Chains A and B, each alone.
Chain A
Amino acid sequence: MLTGALIVVISFAYVGLLFAIAYYGDKRADSGRSIIANPYIYTLSLAVYCTSWTFYGSVGRAATTGIGFLPIYLGPTLMAALWWYVLLKMVRISKAHRITSIADFIGSRYGKSHLLGGLVTIIAVLGIVPYIALQLKAISASFTTILQYPNTLVSFTSETMPFVQDNTFYVAMLLAAFTILFGTRHLDATERHEGLVAAIAFESVVKLVAFIAVGLFVTFGMFDGFDDLFSKAAAVPELNALLVQGGAGGNYTTWASLTVLSMLAIILLPRQFQVAVVENVNERHLNKAIWLFPLYLFAINIFVLPIALGGMMHFPAGTVDADTFVLTLPLSEQKTWLALLAFVGGLSASTGMVIVETIALSTMVCNDLVMPILLRWKFLGLTERADLSNLLLAIRRSAIVLVLALGYGYFYLAGEAYALVSIGLISFSAVAQFAPAMLGGLFWKGGTRLGALYGLSAGFLVWLYSLLLPSFAKSGWLPITFLTEGIFGIDLLKPQQLLGLQGMDEITHCLFWSMIVNVGLYVSVSLWRRPTAAEHSQANLFVDVLRHVAAGSGSRFWRGSATVADLQTLLGRFIGPERASESFAAYARSQGINGVEQLTANAVLVHYVESQIAGSIGSASARDMVASVVVEEPLALEEVMTIIDEASQALAYSRQLEQKSRELEAATNELRSANQRLQELDRLKDDFISTVTHELRTPLTSIRAFSEILGDNPQLESDQRTKFLGIITRESERLTRLINQVLDLAKIESGAAEWHPSALDMREVIEDATTALSQIYKGRGIQLTTDLPDGLPVVYADRDRIFQVVLNLLSNAANFCDKPESKVHVSVIEEDTALRIEISDNGIGISAADQNIIFEKFRQVSDAMAGKPKGSGLGLAISREIVQHYKGRLWVVSTPGLGSTFAFTLPLPRSKLAFLAA
């Protein structure tokens, strides 16, 4: 009925359609109009979880365990509820650090470790390649089944026909071509493949539609709805036994462990990481996928049991393999086109898985296995090669071919072996080993590289020993005694009854022991010692990723020096010069800079380049490559400032403190100087008293001496007596004058003096003073001249005091004039705001040093020529006090030997000024 040629044409046409869709998807992506940037396509791409193992295998599993097929889909449903935290974190981290595979993720989390990335890759390849083989086998089996019907029994037990085997080979080749074409079209830092995702989403629609179509046909075409189908099944004793054997297919432990296993698989399978994390366009798509993806699983599982029951009732027991019911039921009812649809559905389930898994594995093999090794081999000189992008693409493509070849080879060799048929759950168990390092790394900062390494290795070994090797034994590749008697006949080491543990199925047994050692070593070795700086820094970036909103600024605290050109060349070596220059231009635009030449090679750019390269060769190698052109240097000042930004408050506070302390210091200084001034004044007071007493004693001594002479010599001549009495009188007068002056000064200084200001004509005051002293001047032969202009403005002052000042200055001048032809000149000059009175002499003059001190009390010019001081030493002090009282100034200008000019000012009253101006 269906010829081989038709089947082949349909198969190849279908894959051709995938090419077309992927091509269209890539073209749309290139023109910026993505067809996959919505949550529905994202959800459909996640459905790559449902492989041929779902499409054909679920029915087979349901036929033997009843409801036992369900945990594989309930687990992911439960996990979807946790995606909000788990998957979101993974997506954020991966986008920020350009992580492109689960091996890269785990390696990067633990200080960018090559070793861990490599180990994860090896585990993934060992666990997943047989799974790929299973898909190829499903394709081959469906070929055989549909071609040889109604000779249905041959499909899974007989030797595969050479023709079918060839076809499977061609399909594998075609898939490799597809994957290379759309998976490694170019090297891109994001490693996103829009066309491929579009094709995968399309495949998810095809397999869902096909399966539901068959389910509807069986339930409502062959039977009269669910009620009818289940009632009839209940009538068959064997089926009834299957239906009532218990809620969990008979074993709640198996049920729970399968749930856990599939929960982990949905985030840890390389293909799931690829579609959910790497190919994610926008993390918002995650939202809808949280409920849409479980809905997809729900939909594809509704008809599993009806098809299984229908098949078991329709075909005599043992005549048809339950795995093929999806195909054979439509065939048996002559629904050829429905069978073809089912065949295409199965093909889509297989090819989708193979394509995505191959991409994911080849990325891992290239980035985390081959490149780190090649880069380490110095003699290859890879670190110096100008353009590595072609080499990278070649490695990536070889890896794809290698993975598919391994898959095909395993399928070819294993054939019907147990090791292949049971590989689904064995694969799940392998990737479950990533869980402690992955989930621990996402939520626990304390996990270290060594902890992850030990845990992962131990878990992997337990899995190898208790699950993979036994499956080889069951396939006859290892002596069966290995299974029944344990290695070397040691009972406790029986692979599936380790330490004598019994009562568990093999999957639960492996899960239990592998998780005990994996989690145990991961935690205990991690706690053994402190994480290194690199581990700690990565741990913070990963665990706190939801808090670090500004993703990508991970190396803000890292600083190096490099040129922009160096970095661009480096990037060009991995993704090609053109794409590198595009990438730099895009970066410049994102930074708001006009051109690449204006970029500065700062930490952000270095991080950008590192993450771009990480997309091509993995984060650990990228770190090494960037370090080769970037010379690290200590943190720059701005960054230090940023770091201490939080401390700026404290800084301001400290500045306030500093200010306060400065003020305090100033106050202290003022106090100190005030104190000094006080001490100075105290000293002056002492000086004053001693000087006053000294000055008083001189005339007193004189008076007393002459009084004694007069008393002792009564017979003294009268003219002699008169002379002595005259001396006594003069000295007494001097004494009186001195005391008056002291009192006067004390009064003025204390502010207790009485002032009687009146309108004063300075001309009159000076004339009076010169008249009063004219006799003295005449007597000494000093020529006194005056220059007193008419119409001088009046000043307001105490007449007696000002008269005292003028008199004082005139007598001083007389005292300084000893030589013949001495002259004293008095003049009054009207200034803008004051009157200036000058009294000049041509006497001995005053030295510069003395000019400062003559205004102090009791200071006199001690000059040999002046002989004994002629005044009290208070005159100038009192004069200055008087002038200053009227806001005037008293000063002296003098040249020793040529004479002195004493001058003082008296301010003019403002009203007077105003009056004069008017």
Chain B
Amino acid sequence: MIRPTLKGQRLVALFLLGWLMFNYPLLSLFAGNARLWGIPLVYVYLFLAWAVLIGAMALIIERRDH
């Protein structure tokens, strides 16, 4: 929290990306009957996007800037 600027801005960017991924219209691309590993595509997509988002947040937070 000492140098909030860069990390904070990255997180805000991530928020915007997340909002984009989790909502219409991107979300509608994965609707329908398609399946991956037998699971409806939209579930796979949402959980994968969610995991990626959390991973990116962890990366931003835990990375040591020099």
Contact = CB atoms under 8 A, between A and B. Distances in A.
Interface of A: 67, 70-71, 74, 77-85, 88, 226-228, 230-231, 234, 243-244, 246-248, 252, 255-256, 259, 283-284, 286-288, 290-291, 294-295, 298, 302, 305, 546
B39 A230 contact: yes
A77 B30 contact: no
Nearest to A295: B54
A252 B27 contact: yes
B12 A85 contact: yes
Given A284-B1, A546-B4, A247 B14 contact: no
Contacts of B33: 244
Nearest to A286: B1
Contacts of B54: 77, 291, 294-295, 298
A85 B8 contact: yes
24 contacts: A67-B42, A67-B43, A71-B22, A74-B22, A79-B15, A81-B11, A81-B15, A81-B53, A85-B4, A88-B4, A226-B39, A228-B38, A247-B24, A247-B28, A248-B24, A252-B27, A255-B24, A259-B19, A286-B1, A287-B1, A287-B61, A288-B62, A290-B61, A294-B54
A77 B46 CA distance: 13
Nearest to A287: B61
Contacts of A295: 54, 58
Contacts of B4: 84-85, 88, 546
B18 A248 contact: no
Interface of B: 1, 4, 7-8, 11-12, 14-15, 18-19, 22-24, 27-28, 30-33, 35, 37-40, 42-43, 46-47, 50-51, 53-54, 57-58, 61-62
A234 B36 CA distance: 13
B38 A290 contact: no
Contacts of A71: 22
Contact of B40 (A228, A243, A248): A243
Contacts, number: 111
A82 B1 contact: no
A81 B43 CA distance: 22
Nearest to B32: A244
Contacts of A302: 47
A283 B24 contact: no
Given A246-B28, A246-B42, A252-B28, 14 more contacts: A74-B18, A77-B50, A80-B57, A81-B53, A85-B12, A227-B39, A228-B38, A230-B39, A230-B40, A234-B35, A244-B33, A247-B30, A284-B1, A291-B62
Instruction: Give the residue among B27, B42, B54 with the most A Cβ atoms within 10 A.
Output: B54
B53 A294 contact: yes
Contact of A81 (B12, B31, B38): B12
A259 B61 contact: no
B27 to A, nearest CB: 4
Given A230-B39, A286-B1, A291-B58, A256 B8 contact: no
Contacts of A288: 61-62
A166 B17 CA distance: 50
B38 A231 contact: yes
A291 B28 CA distance: 26
A227 B37 contact: yes
A234 B4 CA distance: 48
Contact of B43 (A84, A294, A305, A546): A305
A876 B34 CA distance: 131
Given A82-B11, A82-B12, A290-B11, A259 B51 contact: no
B18 A247 contact: no
B30 A283 contact: no
A425 B61 CA distance: 31
A692 to B, nearest CB: 91
A298 B51 contact: yes
